Amino acid sequence: MALSWWHKAKGVVFPKASPIVNAVYLQGIIAARAGPRGVSFAALENHLEAAFKGVGVHTPDAVALVVNSPGGSPVQSNLIGHKIQTLHEKYKVPVWAFAEDVAASGGYWLLAAGQEVYADKASIVGSVGVVSGGFGLHKLLEHHGIERRLHTAGTSKARLDPFLPARPEDVAHMRDTLAEIHEVFKAHVRARRGAKISGHESTIFSGDFFTGARGVELGLVDAIGSLQSVAKEKLGERVRINYLNARPRFPFLQGLGTGTGDGSQMSWSAHLADAILESAEERIEERLWRSRVGL
């Protein structure tokens, strides 16, 4: 309960009834427009601020990051990771990160933002690499007698167009770009894990994924543990865990009956159909990402 202005002015601080850990979920695909089932900087910024600041005059004893993500945007991962570090430096609150089912690729980027990193023995962690995929459909067009007409201003504007044969220079450009992003990722892991990394970099940065138990051996994870077990071990049985952004049970029902934003009103059935379709698309995309790490 927040103190009155008089108590604050007099410097009176009441003791907390019990130790507090504020937990923030980072679950789903990492993308700028992640939707209710994903992770984005815009959606998390206020939750992170609240987690570190706490309620009233009491800052929490720790902030917990609960990660369950197969990856996604390196930019969003970097923005979120930087925000966590900035808030840690501002409020001097310990940050614990916990991998649930998977914290791979961008998910591991977020996991490594914790000062202490935990996982289940069967969690999937790592995948410190960068990937870009696509299709080559030019032979399909030829087979069906379809002529591709593409006009550009700039010789490189249509790099890796799926309807044109891949040019060696375009493939080389993409590889160079992925290598640059990979270096940013590796620098983040080196900065966050430092001397804790015990595995050889050829293994750590291969893009491969590992179990939580193997992650401990390699130094990607500090120890095996869950949020509840670690919180009780460090702060006692009376510790209180506040879950600040727990995912709604039926995320596709959020916002039903609201307007479209331009003054008009969508019918309930139309909004429901649109929400269900969006939720299905997010589930399919997340399934594809998780399949990269065998889940």
Q: Is residue 1 included in any domain, yes or no?
A: no
Domain tally, the chain = 1
Q: What is the largest CA-CA distance in the chain?
A: 83
Q: How far apart (Å, rounded) are the C-alpha atoms in residues 91 and 2?
A: 18
**Two tokens at 6?**
């008089």
CATH classification of the domain holding 136:
3.90.226.10
Scanning 205-267, the segments in alpha helix (DSSP H) are 212-218, 227-235
Collapse the DSSP code of 172 into the 3-class scheme (helix H, G, I; strand E, B; otherwise coil) and give the result: helix
Q: Is residue 7 included in any domain, yes or no?
A: no
- The sign of the CA dihedral 136, 30, 173, 126 is negative
Q: Is residue 200 included in any domain, yes or no?
A: yes
Q: Is residue 126 included in any domain, yes or no?
A: yes
Beta bridge partners of 209: 126
Q: Is residue 6 included in any domain, yes or no?
A: no
Terminal Cα-to-Cα distance of the chain (whole angstroms):
43
Of all residues in the chain, the percent with pLDDT exceeding 70 is 76
Domain that holds residue 23: 15-291
pLDDT for 143: 79
207: pLDDT strictly greater than 90 = yes
- Reported as a single tens digit per residue, the pLDDT across 144-200 is 888 888 788 888 888 888 887 888 888 898 899 999 999 999 999 999 999 999 989
Q: Is residue 2 included in any domain, yes or no?
A: no
Q: Is residue 4 included in any domain, yes or no?
A: no
pLDDT for 286: 58
Q: How far apart (Å, rounded) are the C-alpha atoms in residues 7 and 176?
A: 59
Bigger pLDDT: 278 vs 225: 225
